[in-house]
Structure 1
Amino acid sequence: MKYAFNTSVGRVRPHNEDSGGIFLHPKGAVLAIVADGMGGHQAGDVASQMTSDILQQRWLATSELRKPTEIEQWIRESIEVVNETLFMHAKENRDCQGMGTTVVVAVCTNDFVSLGHVGDSRGYLLNRCGFQQKTSDHSLVNELVRTGQITVEQAEHHPRKNVLLRALGTEPTIKIDVETVDWEENDTIILCSDGLSNKVTDLEIEELLQTKGHSVNEKVDKLIKMANERGGEDNITVAIVHYTHDRQEQG
């Protein structure tokens, strides 16, 4: 597998409330994380960074996970631990009251990818069947689209587009969406915060991922550059994992 991660503060916001990374397990599987924090002061920074740190620590400390059911259970339990930790931290620290974060994670093995998410940070899969969003945004606007109250086109410019229906740290318990998909040689997983998906279309992401001659690092950086060139009003975070039988490496 080849993989790359990067994050940008964008062109408007004073600090970056996104966090995440890609972490190689000693037994070979890869964990990719994108978290988009929110909250007053710099509490969003705290929420997203705590999320990334806790998931990374649990990932590197766990024994080898072989079956999809085992990895899905690990994702659920780990995100539940994060949620409880954030909720208590906000309760005990006045500066962090109201903080929360989205999260999307992908555990990539040689046979399958297990995705888990809360919020509107997204996970996509590119394979021989095409390019597909594998996560469903936990947002007010997506719910309005799903129930037929507004169109996809209306959702693009809806005044309440940033309202989330689920986020980590805001309630003592959380519902987590988890799914496992098969993947094979040349398939690609991409995770991103809404700083990318609000500025770059799915078709544009797909076309860039299919561009020949660019490394995964270059593709990550090009996507972030596109979002910044279109205003960069939000923080932008992208993680790409490309399935190749070459040795595990960043790049």
Structure 2
Amino acid sequence: MKGYFQTDPGKVRSHNEDSGGVFYNQTGQMLAVIADGMGGHQAGDVASRLATSFMQERWEKTDAFSLPDSAESWLRTSLHEMNVVVLDYSRTHEECAGMGTTVVAVICTETFFSVAHIGDSRCYILNDKGFRQITTDHSLVNELVKTGQISKEDAEEHPRKNVLLKAVGTEQNITADVQTAQWNSDNRLLLCSDGLTDKIKDDELSTILNKPTDIAAICNEMVELANARGGEDNISIIVVHHRAAAEEGDG
């Protein structure tokens, strides 16, 4: 299994409020994290970095996860505690008042992966059934789509499409959505901030992710395309490529 993280400030913003990374625990299992911060005067940077570093430090102290229940429990507890850390920091640092961050995190074992998220940073899977979004955006426009008030096409151009209904560090009690799925023999996961999905449609993401090239090149192509289309937001991507153990030496 391989994972690659890439982040880019984009073409407009002077700083990058995204954070993330691919981390390993004491038994070599992978945790992939993307956080998209928000808040005035670079407070978004602080929120996303706090979220990512909290997950990294906690993950690197863990041993192997062999059951989905234990992986899901770890994710729920970690995101709950992360929320407390970010919220407390914003309350004790005036310049960070009101900050928050999205987060999407995936535990990757050899047999299954467990996904947790808060906000609108996404996780997609590419497998033998095609390409689909695993997570459900905690956003105003997604609720409007779900209730039939607007179409998916309308949502892409909606003036309030970036309004979140949930974010880490914005209220005392935040519940993450958590789920688990089994790997097939040759799967790819895509984690990303909305700086990518605001610029590239799902069918285009699927085409790029399907290319028989290394995952670093895939991430770079996605970043370049989002920037070519304006790059108004920060762009962060993780691609995870899972293959059966017998295939891992094939490059």
The 1:75–1:156 alpha-carbon spacing in structure 2 relative to 1, beyond 3 Å, is: same
SS at match of 1:188: strand
Q: Distance in 1 between matches of 2:27 and 2:190?
A: 22
Shift, 1:43, TM fit: 0.5
Q: Distance in 2 between matches of 1:114 and 1:83?
A: 19
Query: Which residue of structure 2 aligns with residue 131 of structure 1?
Result: 131
Shift, 1:71, TM fit: 0.3
SS at match of 2:231: coil
Question: Mind listing any 5+ residue stretches in structure 2 that lack a counterpart?
Answer: none
Instruction: Give the aligned residue type for 1:215.
Output: D
Does the 8 Å CA contact 1:5/1:240 hold for their aligned counterparts?
yes
Query: Which residue of structure 1 aligns with residue 9 of structure 2?
Result: 9
Q: TM-score if structure 1 supplies the norm length?
A: 0.97
Instruction: Give the aligned residue type for 2:29.
Output: A
Does the 8 Å CA contact 1:10/1:232 hold for their aligned counterparts?
yes
Does the 8 Å CA contact 2:26/2:63 hold for their aligned counterparts?
no
Q: Distance in 1 between matches of 2:248 and 2:116?
A: 22
Question: Mind listing any 5+ residue stretches in structure 1 that lack a counterpart?
Answer: none
SS at match of 2:14: coil
Q: C-alpha offsets along residues 91-115 of structure 1, whole Å, 9 cap, x if unaligned? A: 1110000000000011111101100
Does the 8 Å CA contact 2:196/2:223 hold for their aligned counterparts?
yes
Does 1:178 pair with 2:185? no
SS at match of 1:53: helix
Q: Distance in 2 between matches of 1:18 and 1:75?
A: 20
Instruction: Give the aligned residue type for 1:59.
Output: W
Instruction: Give the aligned residue type for 2:220.
Output: D
Shift, 1:236, TM fit: 0.1
Does the 8 Å CA contact 1:2/1:248 hold for their aligned counterparts?
no
SS at match of 1:173: coil
Q: Distance in 2 between matches of 1:121 and 1:96?
A: 21
Instruction: Give the aligned residue type for 1:40.
Output: G
Shift, 1:79, TM fit: 0.5
Q: Distance in 2 between matches of 1:205 and 1:98?
A: 33
Shift, 1:3, TM fit: 1.4
Q: C-alpha offsets along residues 204-229 of structure 1, whole Å, 9 cap, x if unaligned? A: 111111112x1100001111111000
Query: Which residue of structure 2 aligns with residue 222 of structure 1?
Result: 221
Q: Distance in 2 between matches of 1:247 and 1:89?
A: 45
Does 1:199 pair with 2:192? no
Query: Which residue of structure 1 aligns with residue 26 of structure 2?
Result: 26
Query: Which residue of structure 2 aligns with residue 232 of structure 1?
Result: 231
Q: How many corresponding residue pairs?
A: 249
Query: Which residue of structure 2 aligns with residue 59 of structure 1?
Result: 59
Percent identity of equivalent pairs: 49
SS at match of 1:41: coil
Q: C-alpha offsets along residues 57-98 of structure 1, whole Å, 9 cap, x if unaligned? A: 000112222110000000000011110011111011100000
Q: Distance in 2 between matches of 1:112 and 1:169?
A: 29
SS at match of 2:60: helix
Q: Distance in 2 between matches of 1:73 and 1:247?
A: 30
Q: C-alpha offsets along residues 153-179 of structure 1, whole Å, 9 cap, x if unaligned? A: 111111101100000000011011000
The 1:247–1:59 alpha-carbon spacing in structure 2 relative to 1, beyond 3 Å, is: farther
